[in-house]
A and B are shown apart, each in its own frame.
Chain A
């Protein structure tokens, strides 16, 4: 049954659409599709975005590792290609502040009527295309240190079940402090 859902194209696409609808609904209800909320987060005047992301990480970690442990799902770890991740991440940040949305929330914001989010979508399509054209050259120059599918537990050579409670506690403490500061 699960196999059929995962493999048959029409079911796969329907599931993607459904997950997207719930994701968009949640992002909007959380305020993450609002330009002001994102900009004020980047200026450290509003912490809604980090409250959402940290709560998602706290909730997600143990469940996803349990699914992987029970062999229901396979983890999908993105390779740590050091320089592209760092430089690309910083470039992303510049755009994040200029536009006031990220790839998911710009789609959501467009759904709530934001016209400048639609302009951002067009800009993003162009940016992704330009990157695709320079991909081979950039990889040759910057892809000199690729650490592969590295996870935190690999780095420390211990069980993920040791890391997960530590990360959960740390994030809960951070959320608690943010709350304490009056946000």
Chain B
């Protein structure tokens, strides 16, 4: 079972595997794979905890009802699957500041945490505005030949490319 302990598999093999997984998701659940909706529902659940039924009035939560459902189980599965894989290959690591980040911006924990928090914020806001993320638009949507998904997928990488160049090359000097 050496292959299960391998650190890396070929990206083509992994990609093909994900393609087949999208078929399976359509067969078994009649739905595509997508990750960002789970976060919106989770936030809704947390908001409801503090502000009660009032949040159900929000138009957005009428569309995406805050409840434990398919997407949240999927995300939970992703965490477990990646955990198992990293345990098998011995790459599990409590990383706070990645090497590439510290090369560019030094080893301040606070700075990295602030950037991660802000980055997460933009991802959450942008993904919900665009109607999906790298999996919902970038994989499942492009597979279905949706114009919205191809445009979103290109925008994700255009925005990411410009920001990465400005941030890491120009400011960070790497």
Q: Which of B8, B58, B91, B100 contacts A39 (CB 8 A)?
A: B100
Q: Which of B60, B138, B148 contacts A85 (CB 8 A)?
A: B148
Contact sample, A vs B, 21 pairs, CB 8 Å cutoff:
A22-B77, A22-B81, A42-B161, A48-B11, A52-B11, A58-B16, A64-B26, A67-B26, A72-B26, A77-B141, A88-B125, A89-B155, A103-B133, A111-B86, A116-B113, A124-B120, A124-B127, A132-B64, A138-B129, A154-B147, A163-B145
- Interface positions, chain B 20-39, Cβ under 8 Å from A, are 20-33, 35-36, 38-39
B40 and A132 within 8 A (CB): yes
Interface size bracket, B side: 35 or more
Interface size bracket, A side: 35 or more
The 0/1 profile, CB within 8 Å of B marked 1, for residues 54-92 of chain A is 111111110111010000111111111100111111111
Nearest-neighbor residue (CB-CB) of A179 within chain B: B12
Residues in A neighbouring B95, C-beta threshold 8 A: 35, 113-116
B146 and A127 within 8 A (CB): no
In the complex, what distance in Å separates the CA atom of A112 from the CA atom of B31? 27
- Interface positions, chain B 31-56, Cβ under 8 Å from A, are 31-33, 35-36, 38-40, 42-44, 46-47
| Interface residues in chain A, defined as those with a beta carbon under 8 Å from any beta carbon in chain B | 2, 5-6, 12-33, 35-36, 39-40, 42-44, 48, 51-61, 63-65, 67, 72-81, 84-100, 102-117, 119-133, 135-136, 138, 147, 149-155, 160, 163-164, 167, 175
| Interface residues in chain B, defined as those with a beta carbon under 8 Å from any beta carbon in chain A | 6, 8-9, 11-33, 35-36, 38-40, 42-44, 46-47, 58-61, 64, 69-71, 73-86, 89, 91-101, 112-113, 115-165, 167-169
B159 and A89 within 8 A (CB): yes
